[in-house]
Structure 1
Amino acid sequence: MGKVGETTLVLDLSALEHNYRYLRSRIAPTTKFMAVVKAFAYGSDMVAIAKKLESLGVDYFAVAYVVEGSLLRNAGIKTPILVLHPLAANFDEMIDRCLEPNIYSLKILEQFVSTAKTKKQKDYPVHIKFNTGLNRLGFQKADLDQMAAQIKDCQEIKVVSFFSHLAASEDPDEKAFSNNQINSFLALSDELAQKLGDSPMRHMLNTSGIINYPEAQFEMVRSGIGLYGYGNEAAVDAKLKPIATLKTIISQIHEIPANESVGYNRAFKSERARKTATLPIGHADGIGRQYGKGKASILIHGKKAPIIGNVCMDMIMVDVTDIDCAEGDEVIVFGPESSAEQFASSAQTISYEILTAISQRVKRELLNE
């Protein structure tokens, strides 16, 4: 991996392929695979990631909002796209771009059918979400009769899948809860299928679900974080390859005398003479203030340099007292050598947050296209 002259998120598409093939190896050959590419493909490059995955043969994509699906269509992506959190204000655009909605409430069902009628649609594909315990979006048993009545004789839409979402698939202490969710999903799916006289495909498993509950893979699985190299447990992480490396450089080095302060609010005060390096990355780039004051470290020549003082909008300062380095040297914030999960856990958060926080002003560089 070559040196960079500015803050850069390097994306290794061969690692993405490795992760996809590993996750596919954990499911039956006939099971479909939905790749979750919401939030700019977990903070990476949604178009590049989707194009690579489409070339590898994924069956579906999932995004959070219509704007994300439209970006993929603009880039030439032809694979079906599920919109996980559609809003009525975007239904016209959704149909125009052939994006498929998650129907999660009676109101959303009514509004989408109304739009489909106005746009003279027939058998437009929709997905029905059941709330089995996450309590975020989805229908419950009490909704089934009214929902079925609205759908059964509706010519404008066709239900192509039933789905739900596990709340704690990575947590062995919540196995009973997860199994209860799976059983609830089966019961709701069977009941609605009977009422509709149809049997759409089903999908419930996320990345950790693929690993821990393969018996519930049904006709399709969904993976997000696993594709990007993280499996929510050490044994799985060892099988995956982080696709993203966040790199930057040293802009300036300072010799800090004893009893001097560094940064805003004088949040760091030197008890002895120290050497600091200033880096061109800050909270506007996704490195939040929670990582400052010694909580997180970055790598310079393989050695840890803790962030000192408060994170600034466009800069951080790190302690390099015991590191032989110079202005212009490369710095690794996270990557295969020191994972985003490790970096995030230093501030008591998760890899998802730091990955998706990386600002769009940070340059993206693709490897192994």
Structure 2
Amino acid sequence: LGTDPATIADRMPLLRPVRTRLDVADGVNDCQMIHDTFSSGIASLSLSLDFMSRRVTPDHTLTVILGDIDTEGLPAADVYARAAAMLRLRHIDRIIGIGPEINSRSSSLPAGSVTYPSVEEFLGSVTPDDFRSELILIKGSQDEPLGNVARLLEKRRNGTVLEINLDAVVDNFNFFRSRVRPDTGMVCMIKASGYGAGSHELAKTLQSQGASYLAVAVHDEGVDLRQAGITMPIIVLNPAVDDLNAIFDSHLEPEIYSVDFLRSLIAEARRRGIKDYPVHIKIDSGMHRLGFRLDTLPEVIEVLSSQDYVVPSSIFSHLCAADDPSEDEYTLRQFDYFERCCVMLRSAFPGRRILSHILNSTGITRFPGQQRDMVRLGIGLYGIRTMHDGSQDELRPISSLSTSVISVKHWEAGTTIGYNRRGILSRDSVIATVPVGYADGINRHLGYGNASFCVRGVLCPTVGSICMDSCMIDVTGIPGVQPGDRVEIFGDSVPVEAIADTLGTIPYEVLTSISQRVKRVYYRE
């Protein structure tokens, strides 16, 4: 178009992303907030209300804060009448309209609705204390965003944000589902708070996608999901005798890895008068961590056969080296050993269907012939590849960690930066301070230039040590860096695998180390 390439190069870093997306975040006073800025059309409102309805819990009332609706050439009276009908159908408890058009049509909205002619008037009339234990949908457009309303109701935390792309979760789920038979169930692992991403939104997304089971590590995680409105079956992988009350009260399905635990579970089921409670029998086929061996399985069968309070719903095992082709012989022996255990257990209960599963994320792509009744989707669900042979290249990382610059200073060569004066500048430098540190999950070994974070598309090495709540990066040579600029810790420009490689660990550890004080924001593209 005749624009000088140098001018384009100067202007490109100034572009900012348009937030055409739907965000989910924690709000004030135990509120949950859904902020949708995609569009303000009637069809978009229907989709937003549908998304909201899948997140309803008994302990939260429903609130919709709605901006002016784009009539898209249709009669405005008809459009607002349709919107009112949608809101009634969804049983919205509280409706707030903001904008000159919706304010003038307040009589079209359901009874009890409150409207304001502008965002400014709304902000001057309410405070965060006016909202408590509500699921709030804030629905505006890019032309008239309700961003200030969202900021009023957003729970205050530090500026570091872990963003989780729910569309990427769906894509990864479907990637693996396309590689198994239509009748093969998908067990989704969301232990450790969804590998650090937060379990509630992931569980709601997976429940709506048709996953067969969720699996958590401890009963507290399962109880949490039940309180968040998750109704699908949940397996607890590391249950304990002390957890039995919570397991039964929340209808969680425990893994059985010892006869003693099985007997305790049966005793509690008998005391409660419960029959046919589902349990999952763990087989140690080679991991040598938890589970029954072939020679101990007869005792399990004997105990199960002697009562009808608990029943085996599935038998499963865990591959320990599926991602290492040099250990394939050992993996094949695990498959063979597990099959013998399956035959033994199933033959003892000929009238009962007992599911079996052994494949993890890697196993789904490498050993499709062993998919059996179900497969377990773990790190692959989060977009982390375990194989680099092209078989998992379609996976999309779901998480990105970012913060923002809070200070920019110019220092002469020889200046020391940070604790113990260990960051020594070898040149005149521009150093930015960012509010993220080891209390947020940034390992101290990433300091001293061992890692680089991305600012305006440029990788900027760390300088000096990682502090508890902040760290410093070298932004020398990047024009115009200023407070407020986004800093990517990991994401599209800095793969989490690169951080893991620097630390000599695996992506699992990096993801699960992100502190709970870091705000989680979930979004749909």
TM value normalised by structure 1: 0.96
Amino acid at match of 1:314: D
CA contact (8 A) 1:33 1:58 kept: yes
Deviations 1:178-237 (A, max 9, x none): 111111111111122223444510011111111111111100001011111112123245
Deviations 1:316-360 (A, max 9, x none): 111212323222111111113322112221221111111111111
Deviates more, 1:286-295 or 1:68-77: 286-295
Which of 390, 394, 400 is the aligned partner of 1:239? 394
Distance, in Å, in 2 between the alignment partners of 1:189 and 1:91 is: 26
1:171-320 equivalent positions in 2, closer than 5 A: 171-197=324-350, 198-234=352-388, 235-320=390-475
Equivalence for 1:365 = 521
Q: Against the structure 1 CA distance between its residues 290 and 120, is the aligned structure 2 distance closer, same or farther, given a 3 Å change threshold?
A: farther
Equivalence for 2:295 = 142
Deviation at 1:130, TM superposition (A): 0.5
Which of 208, 212, 216 is the aligned partner of 1:59? 212
Amino acid at match of 1:205: L
Deviation at 1:60, TM superposition (A): 0.5
2:183 is the alignment partner of 1:27: no
Deviations 1:143-202 (A, max 9, x none): 112111111122110100000010011111111111111111111111222234445100
Amino acid at match of 2:393: A
2:311 is the alignment partner of 1:158: yes
Deviations 1:46-88 (A, max 9, x none): 1111101111111110000101001110011111000011111
Deviation at 1:2, TM superposition (A): 5.5
2:260 is the alignment partner of 1:107: yes
Equivalence for 1:340 = 496
Distance, in Å, in 2 between the alignment partners of 1:283 and 1:42 is: 18
Percent identity (aligned): 38
Distance, in Å, in 1 between the alignment partners of 2:307 and 2:448 is: 59
Distance, in Å, in 2 between the alignment partners of 1:308 and 1:131 is: 47
Secondary structure of the structure 2 residue equivalent to 1:361: coil
Deviation at 1:256, TM superposition (A): 2.8
Distance, in Å, in 1 between the alignment partners of 2:466 and 2:264 is: 45
Deviations 1:88-146 (A, max 9, x none): 11111011000000001122212222222222211100000001111111111221121
Secondary structure of the structure 2 residue equivalent to 1:142: coil
Secondary structure of the structure 2 residue equivalent to 1:52: helix
Deviations 1:262-301 (A, max 9, x none): 2223232223322221111111111111222222211111
CA contact (8 A) 1:62 1:83 kept: yes
Secondary structure of the structure 2 residue equivalent to 1:346: helix
Distance, in Å, in 2 between the alignment partners of 1:236 and 1:254 is: 46
Distance, in Å, in 1 between the alignment partners of 2:363 and 2:419 is: 44
CA contact (8 A) 1:296 1:347 kept: no
Equivalence for 2:189 = 36
Secondary structure of the structure 1 residue equivalent to 2:295: helix
Secondary structure of the structure 2 residue equivalent to 1:352: helix
Distance, in Å, in 2 between the alignment partners of 1:115 and 1:257 is: 71
Amino acid at match of 1:217: Q
Amino acid at match of 1:183: D
Q: Against the structure 1 CA distance between its residues 298 and 360, is the aligned structure 2 distance closer, same or farther, given a 3 Å change threshold?
A: same
Distance, in Å, in 2 between the alignment partners of 1:266 and 1:147 is: 62
Amino acid at match of 2:425: S
Amino acid at match of 1:262: I
CA contact (8 A) 1:297 1:343 kept: no
Distance, in Å, in 1 between the alignment partners of 2:366 and 2:420 is: 47
Deviation at 1:260, TM superposition (A): 2.3
Q: Against the structure 1 CA distance between its residues 215 and 343, is the aligned structure 2 distance closer, same or farther, given a 3 Å change threshold?
A: same
Secondary structure of the structure 2 residue equivalent to 1:360: coil
Distance, in Å, in 2 between the alignment partners of 1:136 and 1:149 is: 23
CA contact (8 A) 1:65 1:83 kept: yes
Which of 169, 176, 181 is the aligned partner of 1:16? 169
2:508 is the alignment partner of 1:352: yes
Distance, in Å, in 2 between the alignment partners of 1:142 and 1:267 is: 59
RMSD: 1.7
CA contact (8 A) 1:38 1:63 kept: yes
CA contact (8 A) 1:241 1:336 kept: no
Distance, in Å, in 2 between the alignment partners of 1:353 and 1:220 is: 26
Distance, in Å, in 1 between the alignment partners of 2:278 and 2:206 is: 22
Q: Can you give the 5+ residue segments of structure 2 that lack an aligned partner in the other structure?
A: 1-16, 20-150, 152-157
Amino acid at match of 1:207: S
Deviations 1:220-262 (A, max 9, x none): 0010111111121232452011111111101112223222222
List structure 1 segments (4+ residues) > 4 angstroms apart after TM superposition: 1-5
Deviates more, 1:42-51 or 1:263-272: 263-272
Amino acid at match of 2:362: S
Distance, in Å, in 2 between the alignment partners of 1:350 and 1:225 is: 11
Q: Can you give the 5+ residue segments of structure 1 that lack an aligned partner in the other structure?
A: none
